[in-house]
Amino acid sequence: MTSRLAGTFAAAAADRRGTLVGYLPAGLTPAATFAAMVEAGVDVVEVGLPYSDPVIDGPVIQQAVDRALAAGTTPADVLRTVEAVTRTGVPAVVMTYWNPIEQYGVDRFAADLAAAGGAGMITPDLTPEEAGPWLEAADKQGLDPIFLVAPSSTDERVARISSLCRGFVYATSVMGVTGARAQTSAAAPGLVARVRRVTDLPVGVGLGVSNADQAAEVAGYADAVIVGSAFVRAVLEAGSDAAAARAAGTLAAELAGGVRRRVRA
């Protein structure tokens, strides 16, 4: 089955550039903020499903998730956000821990995500050994399952995880929690190379990118630059919904400029 993300990556490759993926949790800010990110150059949007125990998320995203949960954000709100993003013309994927999906019902969530126009789902804490029900439901609904590999993953593990992915493989650039960093990871290029030895899927690198120079650096060796904490911080520091949309758009334009700066041979 053809990945719904394939066209986006193919278009970026045809332009000899990387793909920019931007994350925000649903319920933190109105749909207009997501639209501003897209208008400014984000190619794929990760819509976070707020969860009370975000084990790999750093303090910035934890603060945002807490605020979204306090506002009463539900999985239905996440799906409505996916619908809104999809209407902008770019793919939307949900980023979620596994427990909320089990509580919702795996088959039901897959069906509802597909009905909302979602392209797939990133599941950071779902292991291949426990992924059977999700893989079956995703295949039935034409959704892209996206799993994470880390610098600590063995070659065997990288191959196993990559074989289960569609859309792209998510390579975490560092060990530890999410968060913008002053420098990009020295381990990330090697991890991307290891993934490419076992799959033809695009490889996206996330955790740590916060500015145009870092985005350009990552775009030099990865197919996608994934940015989360920097977008979340921009929204958290804004004084109003309108200011949040402006801040997210400004950051998206800067990052998109970085991604497009590194033209590939």
The angle subtended at Cα 136 by Cα 133 and Cα 51, nearest 5°, is: 50
Residue 58's pLDDT is 79
What tokens appear for 39 in the block? 């208008």
Residue with tokens 């939307």: 92
- SS percent in the chain: helix, strand, coil, step 5: 50, 15, 40
pTM, entire model: 0.93
Distance CA 14, CA 17 (A): 8
User: How large is the angle between the packed helices 241-261 and 229-236, nearest 10 degrees?
Assistant: 150
Do residues 235 and 29 touch, judged by C-beta distance below 8 A? yes
Do residues 149 and 174 touch, judged by C-beta distance below 8 A? no
Do residues 233 and 25 touch, judged by C-beta distance below 8 A? no
Residue 207's pLDDT is 78
136 is catalytic: no
Q: Where are the domains of the chain?
A: 6-261
Q: Write the DSSP symbol of residue 152.
A: T
Fold of the 6-261 domain: TIM Barrel (3.20.20)
Residue 179's pLDDT is 40
Amino acid found at 186 = A
Residue 183's pLDDT is 46
Residue 85's pLDDT is 98
Concatenating the DSSP letter of every residue in 217-257 gives HHHTT-SEEEE-HHHHHHHHT-SSHHHHHHHHHHHHHHHHH
Distance CA 174, CA 178 (A): 9
pLDDT by 10s per residue, the chain, length 265: 567 899 999 999 999 999 999 999 999 999 999 999 999 999 999 999 999 887 777 789 999 999 999 999 999 999 999 999 999 999 999 999 999 999 999 999 999 999 999 999 999 999 999 999 999 999 999 999 999 999 999 999 999 999 999 999 999 975 444 444 344 467 899 999 999 999 999 999 997 899 999 999 999 999 999 999 999 999 999 989 999 999 999 999 999 999 998 555 5
102 is catalytic: no
Active-site annotation holder among 15, 43, 46, 77: 46
Closest CA to 97 of 119, 140, 130, 136: 130
Closest CA to 101 of 70, 71, 72, 124: 124
Residue 149's pLDDT is 95
Residue 4's pLDDT is 82
Q: What is the dihedral of CA 94, 152, 225, 3, to 10 degrees?
A: -50
Residue 176's pLDDT is 42
Concatenating the DSSP letter of every residue in 24-50 gives EETTSS-HHHHHHHHHTT-SEEEEE--
Residue 182's pLDDT is 42
